[in-house]
């Protein structure tokens, strides 16, 4: 199995090769296409749960109707 660093190096090499062969815009388009394909494959394999992602993003923005109020207790400041 390929390690994360090896995979990152391979993606970096492919990006630079596409940049040299085509141009920067096409290289970025290749990266976007690869990302979309990765998300689709992860979703189909059950590794990606859009409900969980939406819940995490919504709670960080205060989208649950609580006005962005944190429900975590605050510690008293020490002076």
pLDDT, tens digit (0-9, with 9 covering 90-100), for 7-55 = 888 888 888 888 889 888 888 888 888 888 888 888 888 887 778 778 8
pLDDT on residue 77: 60
Assess if residue 49 is contained within a domain: yes
Note whether residue 71 is domain-resident: no
Q: Report yes or no on 42 lying in a domain.
A: yes
Domain limits at 55? 23-61
Neighbour-count burial of 19, counting CB atoms closer than 10 A to its CB (0-12 exposed, 13-18 middle, 19+ buried) = middle
Please state, in angstroms and rounded to a whole number, the distance separating the CA atoms of residues 33 and 37.
6
Query: Does residue 5 lie within any of the structural domains?
Result: no
pLDDT at 5: 84
Q: Is residue 67 part of a domain?
A: no
Number of domains within the chain: 1
In a domain, 45, yes or no: yes
Structure tokens at 49: 């749960």
**pLDDT score of 1:** 78
Q: Which of 16, 40, 37, 39 is nearest to 28 (CA)?
A: 16
pLDDT at position 63 over 60: no
């Amino acid at each position: 199995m390929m390690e994360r660093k090896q995979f990152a190096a391979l993606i970096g090499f492919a990006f630079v090769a596409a940049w040299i062969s085509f141009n920067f815009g096409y290289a970025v388009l290749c990266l976007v296409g690869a990302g979309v394909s990765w998300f689709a494959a992860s979703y189909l394999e059950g590794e990606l749960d859009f409900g969980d992602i939406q819940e995490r993003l919504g709670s960080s923005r205060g989208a649950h109707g609580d006005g962005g109020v944190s429900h975590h207790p605050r510690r008293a400041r020490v002076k």
